[in-house]
Amino acid sequence: MAESAPVKTPPGEMPQALRVILASPRGFCAGVERAIEIVERALEIYGPPVYVRHEIVHNKHVVETLRNKGAVFVEELTEIPEGAMTVFSAHGVPQAVVKEAGRRALPVIDATCPLVSKVHREGQNLVGKGREVIMIGHEGHPEVEGTRGQIPGGVHLVSRVEDVERLDVRDPTLVGYVTQTTLSVDDTRDVIEALKKRFPGIKGPGAKDICYATQNRQMAVRRLAEQVDLLLVVGARNSSNSNRLAEIGTTMGVPSFLIDDASMVQDDWFRGVSVVGVTAGASAPERLVRDLVARIGHVAPAQTEELGGIEEHMQFKLPRVLTDAMRERGIEPDDSRDRHDLHVA
Ligand code: 10G
Ligand code: SF4
């Protein structure tokens, strides 16, 4: 709870002053920065429209910014005209979608995060070794749909420990598992334990399919939640990783709200609050965090600080098809530049 707040706010009262602590790391991960840059570069090189299958990342502000630059977001390839430049979202797509794009000869740039593609390969390798694949993930999420459709024979999907008992597999000695990249580290550990108990010979990646960015943001928010009276998470309702951050706050007994942006903030949330924690999901631009801090300053004069945490230096290369096209036009892809919040200022 609040230790060194400028003024301790009495229960039920509006604060006279606030301390705001920002989690670190927060916001854009390397896969999101890469995916946004892919759409921007495609627009720059080929000109609008560039069709994007599904929201490139789960954030309406990102989508809106790219839409204003000429990106067209669709859910199905059938909505894309013949020959139009097509980008697959960072969450990945099933093989059937790759094949359909091939049949229609659509020029495709795949913005699937390399860490999601790695999970696809793990699943394919398990099948190659004769194992049935169990996926830990959430039904209906596009990453799960993509991974399921990249693994020959599909997957058995489990979300919770209780699902493990209900699994019906061909041969309990020949199973393996993969996970969605944005799950709760704690919940997934429990499900993996249950899987290992039921299938002692199961093969899998440990919890390593949960990506570095998800793990780092969860670790940071856990440290943050120990010190605050209210937690605000900037992120979309449909953003899996953002939901997991708010969930951690709630589980730790801190009133926690997942908000699209500052416009969703309600003054009443601040009654009795001295210290506010702020973080952002992997698809939420830093601009929204800055706007939120400004909005908090309208509730009461606020002093803002950043909680030190793990520094991230992860960067993924752009797809070859794009860097070749860039070089042909005299644009040198610069892997060393800081892409952070470059695009959606
Ligand atoms: O957290 P989810 O998977 O819902 O996606 P997001 O767009 O909110 O954040 C970036 C993460 C991915 C692209 C999934 S690997
Ligand atoms: Fe890649 Fe992780 Fe970001 Fe997903 S959350 S795009 S797996 S880095």
Kindly name the residue from 37, 143, 145, 247 that is annotated as catalytic: 143
CATH number at residue 106: 3.40.50.11270
Taking residues 312-340, report their average pLDDT.
85
Cis preceding linkage at 49, omega within 30 = yes
Compute the distance from residue 153 Cα to the ligand 1 centre, in Å: 25
Ligand 1 neighbour 89 (Cβ under 6 A): no
Is residue 291 in a domain?
yes
User: Is residue 344's pLDDT more than 90?
Assistant: no
pLDDT in tens, 62-115: 999 999 999 999 999 999 999 999 999 999 999 999 999 999 999 999 999 999
* Cα dihedral sign, 229-230-231-237: positive
Tell me, yes or no, whether 9 lies in a domain: no
- Confirm whether 136 is domain-assigned: yes
The answer to whether residues 221 and 174 belong to one domain is no
Separation CA 208–CA 215 (nearest Å): 9
Q: Do 210 and 181 contact (CB within 8 A), yes or no?
A: yes
- Angle, in degrees to the nearest 10, between helices 212-225 and 185-198: 120
Computed from CA positions of residues 216, 142, 170, 99, in that sequence, does the dihedral angle turn out positive or negative? Answer: negative
Q: Is the pLDDT of residue 37 over 80?
A: yes
Query: Listing from the earlier edge strand, what are the strands of the sheet with 230-234?
Result: 256-259, 230-234, 275-280, 18-22, 302-306
Query: What pLDDT does residue 120 have?
Result: 98
Asked whether residue 119 falls in the same domain as residue 203, the answer is yes
Judge if 268 and 328 occupy the same domain. no
Question: Looking at residue 222, what is its pLDDT?
Answer: 98
Asked if the structure places residue 145 within a domain, the reply is yes
**CA triplet 318, 55, 258: central angle to 5 degrees?**
110
Ligand 2 atom closest to 115 (CA):
7
> Same domain, yes or no, for 91 and 74?
yes
Give yes or no: residues 220 and 300 share one domain. Answer: yes
Chain segment 259-302, per-residue pLDDT in tens:
999 999 999 999 999 999 999 999 999 999 999 999 999 999 99
pTM, 2 dp: 0.95
Chosen domain end from 209, 235, 260 = 209
Q: Residue 334 has what pLDDT?
A: 76
pLDDT at 1: 47
Q: Please tell me whether residues 121 and 177 are part of one structural domain.
A: yes
Annotation marks residue 143 as catalytic:
yes
Number of domain units in the chain: 3
Query: What is the DSSP secondary-structure string of 54-66?
Result: S-SSS-HHHHHHH
Contact 222, 185 (CB under 8 A): no
Query: From ligand 2's centre to the CA of 2, what distance in Å?
Result: 32
pLDDT at 280: 99
Residue 238 lies in a domain: yes
Calpha distance 182→185 (Å, rounded): 9
What distances in angstroms separate CA 171 from CA 134, 151, 164, 175, 232, one per listed residue? Answer: 12, 18, 15, 7, 46
DSSP structure string for 120-166: HHHHHHHHHTT-EEEEES-TT-HHHHHHHTTSTT--EEE-SHHHHHT
Q: Which domain holds residue 327?
A: 30-112+316-340
119 & 205 share domain? yes
User: Which ligand minimizes its atom distance to the CA of 243?
Assistant: 1
- Give me the chain's average pLDDT, please: 95
The reported pLDDT for the residue numbered 2 is 46
| Per-residue confidence (pLDDT) for residue 333, from 0 to 100 | 85
Distance 57 CA to ligand 1 centre (A): 6
Q: How far is the CA of 343 from the centre of ligand 1 (A)?
A: 17
Q: Does one domain contain both 124 and 204?
A: yes
Taking only the tens place, the pLDDT of each residue in 202-260 is: 999 977 799 999 999 999 999 999 999 999 999 999 999 999 999 999 999 999 999 99
Does one domain contain both 86 and 169? no
Nearest ligand to the CA atom of 214: 2
DSSP assignment letter at 203: B
pLDDT at 208: 79
Ligand 1 contact, 281 CB (< 6 A): yes
Q: Whose CA is nearest to atom 8 of ligand 2?
A: 31
Using the atom order of ligand 2, give the atom closest to the CA of residue 181. 7
- List all residues whose CB is within 6 A of at least one atom of ligand 2: 29-32, 90, 113, 115-116, 181-182, 211, 213-214, 241, 282
pLDDT at 41: 97
Examine residue 2 and state whether it is found in any structural domain, yes or no: no
Among the listed residues 235, 239, 237, the one whose alpha carbon sits nearest the alpha carbon of residue 284: 235
Q: Are residues 216 and 301 in the same domain?
A: yes
Choosing from 188, 209, 230, the residue where a domain stops is 209
Residue 138 lies in a domain: yes
Same domain, 144 and 66: no
> Is 158 a member of any domain?
yes
Of 209, 242, 274, which closes a domain? 209
Same domain, residue pair 121 and 185: yes
Q: Give the H/E segment covering residue 285.
A: none
Residue 50 scores a pLDDT above 90: yes
- In CATH, what number is assigned to the domain containing residue 268? 3.40.1010.20
According to the model, what pLDDT value does residue 345 have?
Answer: 35
Whether 343 shows a pLDDT value over 50: the answer reads no
Cβ neighbourhood burial of 68 (10 Å; 0-12, 13-18, 19+): exposed
Q: pLDDT (tens digit, 9 = 90+) per residue, 136-165?
A: 999 999 999 999 999 999 999 999 999 999
CA–centroid distance, residue 141 to ligand 1 (Å): 9
Partner residues linked to 21 by β-bridges: 277, 305
pLDDT digits (tens, 9 = 90+) for 5-30: 467 999 999 999 999 999 999 999 99
Ligand closest to CA 34: 2
